[in-house]
Amino acid sequence: MKEEISKTYDQSKESEIYKLWEESGYFNPDNLKGEHFTIIMPPSNANGSVHVGHALGFTLQDIMIRYHRMLGRKTLWLPGTDHAGFETQVVFEKKLDKTGRSRFQMTREEFYKEVWEFVQQYKTLTEQSIRRMGASADWSRNIFTLDPRIIKIVYETFEQMYNDGLIYRGNRISNWCTKHQTGLADLETTREERTDPLYYIKYGPLTLATVRPETKFGDTGLAVNSKDPRYKKYIGQEIEATGLLGKFKIKVIADDLVDKDFGTGVVKVTPAHDATDYEIWLKHKDEIPGPKQVIDKRGKMDLPGTKYHGLKVAEARKIVAEDLEKAGLIEKIDETYKHNVALCYKCKNVIEPLIIPQWYVAMTKKLADGRPSLRDIAVEAVKSKKIKINPHRFEKVYMHWMKNIKDWPISRQIWWGIPIPVWYKGEEIKISENSPGVGWTQDPDTFDTWFSSGQWPYATLMAQGEKDFETFYPTQVMETGWDIMFFWVARMVMFGLYKTGKVPFEHVYLHGLVRDKDRQKMSKSKGNVIDPLGITDQYGVDALRMALVVGNLPGNDLPLAEDKVRGYRNFANKIWNAARFVMQNTEGYDPEAKLTSADKKILKDLQTIVKNNTKRLDKFDFAHAAEDLYHYFWHTFADKIIEESKPKLADEKTKASAQRMLMEVLETNLKLLHPFMPFVTEAIWQLNHKDLLMIQKWPEKV
């Protein structure tokens, strides 16, 4: 046996080892006993290849899973993929664009079918990549967000919430992306500071400041602050003014949303095209007319019969400003005005606030039977520590967001997604997956992806059958990136508590983003992307896993350089060779040999490592756990214990003790290292064992 062990660790055998594990059946908790330990894998978006950020998530989750499996728990790691509605549609439309096609030239059915095929390819690819990372997930329970079992549960929840009055259809102002032709939640917009001209426009006796003169055709009122002495006399009055389309009358109202100190202290109220104005109108419905739409969904002026009709908003703004200037209606222009503009988070086009009917989930509304609002149950779960967020500081961020939460628009005007199961016939509304009969038409919209993925923890388990749900829910840990805490984690908490009465998970672990060695975000255009599969082929998965874990504290971004991966490849080889040394020198050793006091001391010190490491894993302190093991193995075990064992092995009096000691230290280390570096440790274990290291009992704390 000794001679057969190669001098360097051969990572090309990793896929064979994975096969060994997978075929053993121990990824499936049905073959395990004990108390349950569950992690639901965040479903990967099936629209591209896995990147190193995914690899980080898989690694951290696999560490927890392998650790708990070795502790003797009935351990389930349930994998899945996400259709990722909007995200995927955007990716796919870009692809269409490259070949000169567009979804607007296709039928909805054609489009859906093509995206489905596209997603299937990536789904398979993603699942292979997850395996390549060593993920010990239960593939027998693998599930897709568009699985009929999931859709059924999503529909049930929708109906239940509708009946509870938590879901309603509202015709109100929403963020509209003119490129993607869909409404978006506030979270799906970003803001960018811009410098735009601020026009001071005359409205009869008054002057007001605006950056959007083109929307003046949609004005239905003017507003001032009630405490502003300058304008007291105008409140409630109709003033007469001259505009580009002739004379008009407009009413002045008082609203405290108006800041006296901004501009002239007068604002125009354009409820159809501005969120604040819309809100002002809601409070003054009796005083001023409602929204008057002058911009359409394509972001073009909708003013038939005028010269502005059909102009894009940006063009119209220029022309309107010029015309106002010519007509002597501009008092001045402030060219240095800085303000934040809302953009679509995907295409960075300016969001056009428009009134579009959307479905909403009420966040702060109490239920008729007295149950607290979704927001309140989600706040309580964290406050009462039923859910703990790691790092702790994110609990503050979570609370702050909850405090300011607004109703969540869940309908999207996109095609790729779960259709909204609502049918209309005149004024009648019915919730149903299939047509209720002749004359009914279905709502054309689809759900926001997060409406389905928000239900993931219970939906994935319920989809497997009632028994799985009872056995594995609530889950123990949700491990994901901090960047989707609001999008996803917060929603899962609400849905989970609403639907099951229990928290969906006990712990949230938020990892940081992986960046390049200069802390830059990885992006294809910068060419600084580290491809996890490529790096894995070169250095082995274990090396990548260690590089991702060591030095990576929760919530902090992680700079990753290839050098670091190379360093841990060296470590994997070190482990291999230390093991080779031990095996070559312990042939036929006596596991019961009497220990010398020096060797006893070594084993006692090892207990401290076991104890500390276990404690660290229990506290989710993976970075330090990994670093400690690295140090102990290399600088204590390899550099000192093994070196010092050489004379001991040469002396017949101390040989038996040294052999036993070396083997015990090695095997304990293999077990401790296994969650972090499963492949090299298992490969070594397989050299002299018939069973799997993966299911060995975790070293006892003494």
The DSSP symbol for 138 reads -
Residue 614, SS3? helix
Q: How far apart are CA 664 and CA 679, in angstroms?
A: 20
Does the footprint of RNA cover residue 274 (CB under 7 A)?
A: yes
- Residues 347-406 within binding reach of RNA (CB under 7 A): 393, 396-397, 400-401, 404
Site for RNA contains 526 (CB under 7 A): no
| Token code pair at residue 406 | 């607004």
From the list 39-47, 462-470, 563-571, 599-607, the region that binds RNA by CB under 7 A is 563-571
Residues 311-340 that bind RNA (CB under 7 A): 339-340
* Cβ-based nearer residue to RNA, 62 or 542: 542
Q: Considering the rule CB under 7 A, would residue 259 count as an interface residue with RNA?
A: yes
- The whole-angstrom separation of Cα 667 and Cα 610 is 12
Q: How far is the CB of 232 from RNA (least distance, A)?
A: 16
Q: Which stretch binds RNA (CB under 7 A): 125-133, 473-481, 588-596, 637-645?
A: 637-645
**Which region, judged by CB under 7 A, interacts with RNA, from 129-137, 371-379, 501-509, 636-644?**
636-644
Return the structure tokens found at 185.
């939640």
Do the beta carbons of residue 515 and residue 560 sit within 8 Å? yes
**Which of 570, 596, 612, 688 is the binder for RNA (CB under 7 A)?**
570
Taking the C-alpha atoms of residue 337 and residue 236, their distance in angstroms, rounded to an integer, is: 30
> Any contact of residue 520 with RNA (CB under 7 A)?
no
CA distance 645 to 638: 10
The phi, psi pair for 314, rounded to 5°, reads -65, -40
Query: Is position 517 an interface residue for RNA (rule: CB under 7 A)?
Result: yes
Mapped onto helix, strand or coil, the DSSP state of residue 269 is strand
Minimum gap (Å) between residue 520 Cβ and RNA: 10
Closest approach, Cβ 509 to RNA, in A, equals: 15
**b/e per residue 466-486 (b: at least 16 CB within 10 A):** eebbebbbbbbbbbbbbebbb
Q: Smaller CB distance to RNA: residue 82 or 228?
A: 228
CB-CB contact of 344 with 351 (8 Å)? yes
Please state the closest distance from residue 552 (CB atom) to RNA, in A.
8
Cβ neighbours of 686 (radius 10 Å): 16
Among 419, 559, 603, 696, binds RNA (CB under 7 A): 559
Q: Which is nearer to RNA, 396 or 615 (CB)?
A: 396
Stretch of 81-89, 207-215, 282-290, 356-364 lying at the interface with RNA (CB under 7 A): 207-215
Span from 83-91, 134-142, 471-479, 570-578 in contact with RNA (CB under 7 A)? 570-578
When asked if residue 73 is in the footprint of RNA (CB under 7 A), the reply is: no
- Taking CB under 7 A as the binding criterion, the range among 7-15, 114-122, 283-291, 664-672 that sits at the site for RNA is 7-15
69 is a contact residue toward RNA (CB under 7 A) = no
The radius of gyration of the chain's CA atoms, rounded to the nearest angstrom, is: 32
447 three-state secondary structure: strand
- Residue 652 CA to chain centroid, in angstroms? 60
Tokens describing residue 550: 């060591």
- The answer to the question of residue 692 lying near RNA (CB under 7 A) is no
Residue 635 binding RNA, by CB under 7 A:
yes
What DSSP line would sit under 7-28, residue for residue? SS--GGGHHHHHHHHHHHTTTS
DSSP 203-227: ETTEEEEES-GGGGGG--EEEE-TT
Which residue do the tokens 């293999």 mark? 670
For residue 189, CA distances in Å to 23, 177, 194, 325, 413 come to 45, 9, 15, 33, 16
Site stretch for RNA (CB under 7 A), options 52-60, 366-374, 594-602, 629-637:
629-637
Closer of 119 and 661 to RNA (Cβ): 661
Closest-CA residue to 28 (of 473, 624, 468): 468
Distance of alpha carbon 65 from alpha carbon 455, whole angstroms: 22
Closest CB to RNA among residues 274, 682 = 274
Going by C-alpha positions, the residue among 79, 93, 174, 91 that lies closest to residue 133 is: 79
Size of the site for RNA (CB under 7 A): 63
Positions in 459-488 near RNA (CB under 7 A):
486
- Residue choice 286, 369, 563, 592 for contact with RNA (CB under 7 A): 563
- Segment interacting with RNA (CB under 7 A) among 161-169, 260-268, 359-367, 610-618: 260-268
Given a contact cutoff of 8 angstroms between Cβ atoms, the answer to whether 1 and 687 are in contact is: yes
Please pick, from the candidates 210, 452, 654, 681, the single residue that binds RNA as defined by CB under 7 A: 210
- Site stretch for RNA (CB under 7 A), options 15-23, 31-39, 266-274, 317-325: 266-274
To the nearest whole angstrom, how small is the minimum distance from the Cβ of residue 77 to RNA?
A: 27
Residue 83 found at the interface with RNA (CB under 7 A): no
CA gap 530, 547 in Å, rounded:
12
**Tokens 């910068």 belong to residue:** 526
Q: What is the DSSP letter of 371?
A: P
C-beta closer to RNA: residue 7 or 524: 7
Binding to RNA by residue 556, rule CB under 7 A? yes
Among 96, 235, 239, 275, binds RNA (CB under 7 A): 275
Q: By CB under 7 A, is residue 634 in contact with RNA?
A: yes
- Candidate residues 19, 94, 191, 385; the one interacting with RNA per rule CB under 7 A: 191
Output the 3-class SS for 475-526. Answer: EEEEEEEHHHHHHHHHHHHHHHHHHHCCCCEEEEEEECCEECCCCCECCCCC
Residue 461 or 626 with smaller CB distance to RNA: 626
In this chain, which stretch among 6-14, 370-378, 659-667, 677-685 interacts with RNA, using CB under 7 A? Answer: 6-14
Closest approach, Cβ 295 to RNA, in A, equals 13
Q: Which is nearer to RNA, 154 or 541 (CB)?
A: 541
Q: Quick one: 94 or 631, whose CB is closer to RNA?
A: 631
- 136 touching RNA, by CB under 7 A: no
The two tokens of residue 393 are 């500081």
Q: Show the 3-state SS of 643-692.
A: HHHHHHHHCHHHHHHHHHHHHHHHHHHHHHHCCCCHHHHHHHHHHHCCCC
Cβ closest to RNA, residue 462 vs residue 578: 578
Q: Which are the contacts of 176, defined by CB distance < 8 A and separation ≥ 6?
A: 182, 183, 184, 297, 351, 352, 353, 354, 356
- Answer positive or negative: Cα dihedral of 158, 162, 164, 169: positive
Tell whether residue 642 is a contact of RNA (CB under 7 A): yes
User: For residues 261 and 369, which CB has a smaller minimum distance to RNA in the complex?
Assistant: 261
Cβ at position 208, least distance to RNA in Å: 7
Sign of CA dihedral 577, 634, 676, 555: negative
Q: With binding defined as CB under 7 A, does residue 584 bind RNA?
A: yes
Q: How far is the CB of 225 from RNA (least distance, A)?
A: 8
Query: Binding of RNA at residue 573 (CB under 7 A)?
Result: yes
Which of these segments, 34-42, 210-218, 315-323, 366-374, binds RNA (CB under 7 A)? 210-218
CB of 404 to RNA, least distance (A): 5
Where along the sequence are the contacts to RNA (CB under 7 A)? 7-9, 186-187, 190-191, 209-212, 257-259, 261-263, 265, 267-268, 274-276, 279, 339-340, 393, 396-397, 400-401, 404, 486, 517-519, 551, 553, 556-557, 559, 563-564, 567, 569-570, 572-574, 577-578, 580-581, 584, 624, 627, 631, 634-635, 638-639, 642-643
